[in-house]
Structure 1
Amino acid sequence: MHKAPTGTTLAFDFGEARIGVAEGDAEVGIVHPLATVSGQNNEVKFEAIAVLVREWQPRQLVVGLPTHADGTEHELTRLSRKFGRRLHGRFNLPVYWVDERMSSLYAESLLAEAQVFGKKQKTVLDQVAAQAILQGFFDGGAAEYFNGREEGQS
């Protein structure tokens, strides 16, 4: 078992078109929406992520792992795992995967509570979903951990 994470953490809500990013501090447990990354190709997206990694100097990365409601995996689950492995390969930081099944509902309810609707909501929804993923990580831990070796299935 690896020790509990400390320090700055960046979390990602991976989507094929947009990637929501949130930042938080593991010791304090406070999480903030940070950015939405998009671009015509993966290289553009990873360059934007590299800027955030340089700026925030995270100790670890968290990626939401989408599954069906019953927990079974689908194509976006596979793509999210691939994204997490690429993050590790590029930035050499530990990657934690967190079950994100409730993150979109959580994000929508937070935004409704803040009276953010319509087009304005769409622009921040991915960031707030990443915020929900990171809060879930701080509150409940990771579903899986990756430090360069293939993760074991439990």
Structure 2
Amino acid sequence: MKLITAMAFDYGTKRIGVAIGQTISLTAEPLQVIQMKNKQATWDEINYLVKEWAPDVFVLGYPTTADKSPHFLIPKIEKFSRQLSSRYRKEVNFVDERLSSHATVDYALEVRKIGLDAVAAKLILETWLSELEV
């Protein structure tokens, strides 16, 4: 399998969780939580992380509801996706994030150390990695 470094984002109204992972080991690690400013992504922090980690692809959590109705964050996530793609000229993939925030309960210590949103981003990325064709 070709080495691909992926950066995942768990986009929220107040924070963006960020995680990094790669395809050789199929592992992901939470990086940090970025605080939104005026309900906007803080591109300075994202620019720093992209430069530091040089991802080949981005992965975004895509919220769905149990009854499959549209989630209120979808338009904002799609806008963020377009911004990522145009700024960095990289592919953006989406992963159903329904279970990512709930699954972080299993990572209580990790959550306390780095933050719920970064761990949710890690789980989003692990889902994407597990769905890759090997």
- Structure-2-length-normalised TM-score: 0.88
Residue matched to 1:25:
22
Q: Which one of 102, 109, 122 corresponds to residue 131 of structure 1?
A: 122
1:80-133 deviation digits (Å, cap 9, x = unpaired): 11111111111111000110001011112222xx486xxx37x51000000000
Q: For structure 2, list consecutive stretches of 5 or more residues without a partner in the other structure.
A: none
1:7-48 deviation digits (Å, cap 9, x = unpaired): 2110000012100000001221111000111142436x1111
Structure 1 position 86 matched with structure 2 position 83 = yes
SS at 1:35 equivalent:
strand
What is the percentage of aligned positions where both structures have the same residue? 37
- Structure-1-length-normalised TM-score: 0.77
Residue matched to 1:51:
48
Where do 4+ consecutive residues of structure 1 move more than 3 Å? none
Q: Which one of 52, 56, 68 corresponds to residue 71 of structure 1?
A: 68
Q: For structure 1, list consecutive stretches of 5 or more residues without a partner in the other structure.
A: 142-154
Distance (whole Å) between structure 2 residues aligned to residue 75 and residue 31 of structure 1: 27
Instruction: Call closer, same or farther: CA 1:57–1:115 in 2, change over 3 Å.
Output: closer
What is the aligned length?
131
Residue matched to 2:4:
7
Q: Which amino acid aligns with 1:62?
A: V
The answer (yes or no) to whether the contact 1:67–1:73 under 8 Å persists in 2 is yes
